[in-house]
């Protein structure tokens, strides 16, 4: 105690003197706690235990708060029944804080007259108490609940997890508990024991590191470092480093960036790069899918979109007419919109499509996928997108099995490439909720008065944050002024899949003040009427809705086969590549089938039926089976579709672009290649590699062949070349042959390093 009160004989004493005795002791104790125990908020004791299904008991203990010590002097029992979760789970946090209160009220006499000795009784608090207050704070319900926010003046004691019936667990927050000097002494003893064991070893590390350095220097000349070179080359390729960044390089042949496919070097390039180096086409043909018969009773072709024969059935409608509204009353603006495409799917089938292990990079999170190679229609180009499972910001999906490759977009519409439109006029829109999957085929809207001879532009778009999103337009059509009548107008639209649980919007733009029929708000649409005064921002009106009718397709049969024009190729074909806009709902299937000339059965082009083109037929009938329900069927866009048929050559030659490396020195002038071949059979197949420096062609000095996987016929070939010192540029030539176009292989990877 750094202060004390002094009393003397015959000295007058006042109440302050006696209070100071306690205050000085308390202050000294607070300083000791702050300096020697903890200056932060901690607790001691206060053990929380479960004493009932929804009841806890908090034991006695103390709260330390910036030197002051507050006590809980009695056991606290608390029911948590009011905090039980209604449907999931929640966390109840038990915390404590210190509070200074005056207690122990007693009646004491007070002297009121010194001369007469008169006293009067008064009820006064005799104890100044520092008490610990316990607080129960409930967090929000969730499947994976988190603790609630606690005031900074509290110290957290425990988190209690409750479900819908009981206390699930109690987690004491020991990190907030005061650590006693005994516990610290035990920990110090353990550290000293550890130090006595480890200190002799640490002090000798300097000599050990020097010895290790000498050993590594000796290892640098060993062949084991070649594995490091290989890995560095592969990492460099994955990170898109330029070829001349170092003396290492890899090519996984997923694109043609390092292939002289235009034969610029005039070295006779003749190969195909498609997830590996493959044999080029001996003959090929490409055409658009078309109906075998325009009068096919099973087919319904509208605007190039093919579905099974259907009838229009009213799916969504609003209530009765209540008032009319002029489109043009909201002012004329230039409205920009981006029209997307229906999802695209590419199916590659045939003997040349063997699986390349490097295709796995398409499924690597964060890997850049060049969708141009996968979805190009020769008229539009896709930018490189990032494949990011499992969120699938770009929902590109793929699968690979031998002889069957599938690439598809997993959402009904894709907006990586759009058609940009600008339309002048006034704009109104109506959002609506789709409760069941619909293939929309017609739109009905109500006109009460026709204005000037101006068309009505109609767009169907997706809804973002509750408002029409003209950057995600599913379709755009025009309803001509000549067709506008008073009353219901039925506008045919391209078959469009509307997904259940989503909201869409019909947007109307016109230069004329056509009067549109309106009904009272929330009439069966679960949407909102919007208007735009500036072409950018929308204002919603909850009191009214546009009178709309949405018609959907109803199919007579759940499975229909529709035949297309037959496929032919001189000399026969072994591979087929089908690329088309299509959407196949989850309850449906779209199966392409062929009947090769001379056979009697239709064969599906699926992964489990890989031998349909094994005989290389020169002619085959072609069709698709639409499998669905009476309410849902696949949609196939024939216009712009592409079918390629081909058969491979029996020899190929792949020429790289000119590779650049740091100049080879007199000491390090060896160039080592490690190439991976798949589906390779040494009996019918051959493979060779050479390096061209200027006009000189160099063949390998040594060749090592290793079988990596006999079942998959995967071979690793290692070649070593001795090139002239000072070489900085060279070209790689790879050649191969097969004895039959029915048995081919591919080069999956080419890696080199210099040493």
Closest CA to 588 of 532, 626, 616: 626
How many CB atoms sit inside 10 A of residue 696's CB?
10
Q: What's the rounded Cα separation, in Å, for the pair 342 and 719?
A: 48
Q: What's the rounded Cα separation, in Å, for the pair 696 and 668?
A: 20
pLDDT tens-digit map of 360-419:
665 554 455 555 555 555 544 444 444 444 444 567 788 889 999 998 888 899 887 788
CA distances from 96 to 46, 79, 238, 239, 399 (A): 9, 17, 54, 53, 57
- Here the CATH number for the domain that contains residue 147 is 2.60.40
Mark which of 366, 389, 414 sits at the end of a domain: 414
Is 1's pLDDT higher than 90?
no
The whole-number average pLDDT for the span 96-120 is 87
pLDDT tens-digit map of 466-505:
899 999 999 999 999 999 999 999 999 999 999 999 999 9
| DSSP output for 116-178 | TTEEEEEEEEEEEEEEEEEEEEE---BSS--PPP--TT-EEEEEEEE-SSSEEEEEE-GGGBP
- 10 — pLDDT class (breaks 50, 70, 90): confident
Same-domain status, 236 and 267: yes
pLDDT tens-digit map of 557-573:
999 999 999 999 999 99
> What is the pLDDT of the chain when averaged over all its residues?
87
Q: Is residue 301 part of a domain?
A: yes
Is 76's pLDDT higher than 90?
yes
pLDDT tens-digit map of 52-63:
999 999 999 999
617 contacts 351 by C-beta, under 8 angstroms: no
- Here the CATH number for the domain that contains residue 697 is 2.60.120
Lowest-confidence pick of 40-44, 233-237, 624-628, 669-673: 233-237
pLDDT tens-digit map of 516-549:
999 987 666 788 999 887 666 778 888 899 999 9
Same-domain status, 502 and 560: no
Q: What's the rounded Cα separation, in Å, for the pair 676 and 356?
A: 10
- Chain Cα centroid distance, residue 491: 38
- 291 — pLDDT class (breaks 50, 70, 90): very high
Question: What pLDDT is stored for residue 383 in this prediction?
Answer: 41
Q: What's the rounded Cα separation, in Å, for the pair 564 and 584?
A: 19
Question: What pLDDT is stored for residue 523 in this prediction?
Answer: 63
The whole-number average pLDDT for the span 333-358 is 91
How many CB atoms sit inside 10 A of residue 697's CB?
12
The whole-number average pLDDT for the span 258-267 is 95
Q: What share of the chain is helix, strand, coil (3-state, %, to 5)?
A: 15, 50, 35
What is the pTM assigned to this prediction? 0.67
- 225 — pLDDT class (breaks 50, 70, 90): low
The whole-number average pLDDT for the span 450-463 is 94
Residue 383 zone, left/alpha/beta (φ > 0; ψ -120 to 50; rest): beta
Q: What's the rounded Cα separation, in Å, for the pair 755 and 229?
A: 9
Q: Domain count for the chain, please give it.
A: 5
Question: What pLDDT is stored for residue 390 in this prediction?
Answer: 41
Same-domain status, 405 and 462: no
The whole-number average pLDDT for the span 90-107 is 90
Is 304's pLDDT higher than 70?
yes
Q: Which residue has the tokens 């608390």?
A: 78
How many CB atoms sit inside 10 A of residue 43's CB?
25
Tell me the HSE value of 83 on the side-chain side, using a 13 A CA sphere.
25
Domain assignment of residue 592, given as a range: 284-306+556-648
Same-domain status, 324 and 460: yes
- What are the tokens at 19? 């209070």
- What are the tokens at 540? 């919603």
Percent of the chain's residues with pLDDT above 70:
89
pLDDT tens-digit map of 178-224:
888 888 889 898 998 888 888 777 777 767 777 777 766 655 454 55
Write the CB contacts of 71 (distance below 8 Å, at least 6 apart in sequence).
Answer: 60, 61, 62, 63, 130, 131, 132
Mark which of 414, 431, 448 sits at the end of a domain: 414
Mark which of 613, 648, 683 sits at the end of a domain: 648
Same-domain status, 516 and 479: yes
Q: Is residue 202 part of a domain?
A: no
């Amino acid at each position: 105690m750094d202060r004390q009160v002094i009393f003397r004989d015959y000295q007058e004493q006042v109440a302050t003197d006696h209070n100071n005795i306690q205050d000085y002791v308390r202050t000294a104790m607070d300083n000791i706690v702050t300096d020697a125990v903890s200056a932060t908020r901690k607790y001691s004791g206060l053990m929380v235990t479960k004493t009932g299904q929804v009841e806890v008991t908090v034991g006695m203990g103390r709260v330390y708060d910036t030197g002051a010590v507050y006590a809980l002097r009695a056991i606290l029992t608390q029911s948590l029944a009011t905090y039980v979760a209604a449907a999931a789970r929640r966390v109840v946090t038990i915390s404590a804080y210190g509070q200074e209160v005056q207690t122990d009220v007693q009646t004491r006499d007070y002297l009121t007259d010194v001369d007469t000795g008169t006293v009067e009784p008064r009820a006064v608090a005799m104890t100044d108490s520092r008490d610990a207050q316990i607080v129960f704070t409930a967090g929000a319900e969730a499947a994976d609940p988190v603790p609630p926010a606690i005031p900074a003046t509290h110290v957290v004691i425990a988190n209690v997890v409750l479900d819908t019936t009981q206390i699930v667990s109690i987690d004491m927050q020991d990190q907030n508990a005061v650590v006693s000097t005994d516990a610290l002494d035990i920990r110090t003893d353990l550290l000293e024991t550890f130090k006595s064991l480890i200190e002799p070893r640490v002090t000798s590390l300097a000599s050990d590191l020097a010895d290790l350095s000498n050993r590594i220097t000796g290892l640098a000349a060993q062949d084991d470092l070649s594995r490091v070179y290989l890995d560095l080359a592969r990492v460099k390729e994955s990170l898109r480093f330029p070829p001349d960044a170092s003396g290492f390089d890899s090519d996984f042949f997923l694109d043609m960036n390092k292939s002289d496919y235009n034969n610029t070097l005039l070295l006779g390039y003749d190969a195909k790069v498609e997830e590996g180096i493959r044999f080029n086409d001996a003959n090929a043909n490409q055409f658009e899918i078309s109906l075998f018969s325009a009068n096919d009773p099973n087919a319904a072709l509208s605007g190039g979109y093919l579905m099974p024969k259907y009838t229009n059935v009213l799916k969504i409608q609003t209530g009765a007419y209540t008032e009319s509204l002029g489109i043009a009353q909201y002012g004329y603006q230039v409205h920009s919109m981006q029209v997307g495409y229906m999802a695209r799917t590419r199916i590659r089938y045939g003997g040349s499509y063997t699986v390349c292990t490097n295709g796995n990079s398409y499924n690597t999170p964060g890997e850049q996928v060049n969708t141009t190679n996968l979805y190009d229609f020769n008229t539009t180009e896709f930018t490189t997108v990032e494949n990011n499972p499992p969120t699938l910001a770009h929902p590109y999906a793929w699968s690979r099995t031998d002889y069957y490759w599938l690439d598809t977009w997993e959402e009904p519409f894709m907006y990586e490439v759009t058609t940009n439109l600008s339309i002048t006029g006034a704009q109104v829109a109506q959002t609506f909720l789709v409760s069941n999957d619909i293939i929309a085929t017609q739109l009905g809207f109500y006109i009460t008065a026709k204005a000037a001879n101006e068309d009505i532009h109609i767009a169907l778009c997706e809804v973002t944050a509750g408002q029409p999103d003209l950057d995600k337009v599913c379709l755009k059509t025009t309803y001509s002024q000549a067709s506008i009548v008073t009353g219901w107008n039925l506008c045919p639209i391209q078959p469009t899949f509307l997904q259940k649980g989503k909201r869409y919007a019909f947007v109307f733009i016109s230069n004329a003040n056509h009067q549109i029929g309106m009904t009272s708000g929330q009439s069966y649409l679960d949407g909102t009427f919007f208007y735009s005064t500036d072409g950018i921002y929308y204002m919603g009106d909850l009191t009214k809705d546009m009178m709309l009718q949405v018609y959907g397709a109803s199919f007579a049969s759940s499975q229909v086969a529709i035949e297309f024009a037959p496929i032919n190729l001189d000399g026969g074909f072994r591979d087929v590549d089908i690329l088309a806009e299509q959407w196949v709902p989850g309850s449906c299937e779209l199966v392409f089938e062929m009947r090769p000339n001379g056979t009697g059965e239709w064969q599906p082009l699926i992964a489990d039926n890989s031998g349909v083109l094994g005989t290389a037929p020169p002619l085959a009938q072609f069709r698709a089976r639409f499998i669905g329900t009476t309410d849902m069927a696949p949609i196939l866009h024939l216009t712009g579709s592409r079918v390629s048929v081909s058969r491979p050559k029996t020899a190929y030659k792949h020429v790289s672009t000119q590779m650049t490396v740091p100049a080879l020195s007199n000491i390090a002038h060896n160039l080592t290649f490690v190439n991976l071949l798949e589906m390779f059979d040494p009996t019918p197949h051959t493979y060779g590699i050479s390096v061209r420096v200027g006009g000189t062609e160099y063949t390998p000095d040594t060749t090592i062949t290793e079988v990596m996987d006999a079942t998959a016929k995967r071979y690793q070939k290692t070649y070593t070349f001795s090139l002239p010192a000072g070489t900085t540029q060279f070209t790689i030539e790879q050649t191969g042959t097969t004895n039959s176009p029915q048995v081919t292989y591919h080069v999956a990877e080419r890696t080199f390093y210099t040493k």
